[in-house]
Amino acid sequence: MKQRYSFSFFTFVLRRTLLLALAATSMHLWGQQIPTLPPPRAGFTFPAKQTLTYSVDWRVFPAGTAVLHFESDGANEHLTADAETVSAINLLFHVSDKFQSTFDREKGCTTEFDKQTIEGRRQINSTLKLDYAQGKSVLDEKNLVTGQTKRLETGIPGCLTDLLTGVFYTSSQAMEVGKSFEIPVVDPLKTVVVTMKVDGREELKTPAGTFKTIRVVPTAEAGVVKNRGEIWLWYSDDERHLPVQMRARLFWGTITFRLASVENK
């Protein structure tokens, strides 16, 4: 079990770290008003086509790669992510995760979030659809090993982002050191409000080059819940706000995503 949590890096960072670690520093608001997802800042547009490749390290060891692809489709944007473990880690615990999110280019609202997950013997496909007209989300999930299926429905308050898009949607927001903004993130059965604090500026070297960056950390009025870990996000200090580096520090070690290449295709 220890090996499983150590090497299932991509799902843990995207789901456990983004949801649990950020939820641990945010307010889980049941029965309270949830803020609307802020629209992209004036003049910002999501890329028509772009591929971002990240090298992923666990502690000091190479752990895998993650490839993210943006592509516009009329009023929508598709964001896909593929992650694979590499080398010795792949022998210990194989991970092959595929994610896809579809969201509105103008408002940012997620309409569908798909996951195809292979982690060791665990193989699960799921689709989360958000129906804003009906005010609900619907999750359909199938275990490819056992054949078991399930469907979950829950109410949603309004325009939301998802676990994958949240990190990259942040690029669309204005970033001023010392200020913050809130992003409501949807997950089956709950909505988590994440407050993103623009913490400072820093120069970083990655395989893709040297970048002047803006560092963003999750915070909350309710304070930090102890023993849940920390996460930092670095965005290029320019109009693109390109996600340059992502780092999660948890009890079993630190995972770091470093930008390796950017291709406009």
pLDDT-derived band at 248, boundaries 50, 70, 90 = confident
What is the CA angle 230-233-239, rounded to 5? 160
Please state, in angstroms and rounded to a whole number, the distance separating the CA atoms of residues 230 and 195: 14
Q: Out of 30-44, 80-94, 241-255, which region has the weakest mean confidence (pLDDT)?
A: 80-94
Q: How far apart are CA 132 and CA 227, in angstroms?
A: 35
- Are 218 and 225 contacting, i.e. CB atoms less than 8 angstroms apart? no
pTM, two decimal places? 0.82
Contact 216, 173 (CB under 8 A): no
- Using the predicted structure, report yes or no on whether residue 90 has a pLDDT greater than 50: no
Specify the pLDDT at position 119: 66
Higher pLDDT, 65 or 174: 174
Residue 73 contacts residue 66 (beta carbons within 8 Å): no
Please report the pLDDT score of residue 223 as a whole number.
Answer: 34
Q: At 102, is the pLDDT very low, low, confident or very high (cuts 50, 70, 90)? A: very high
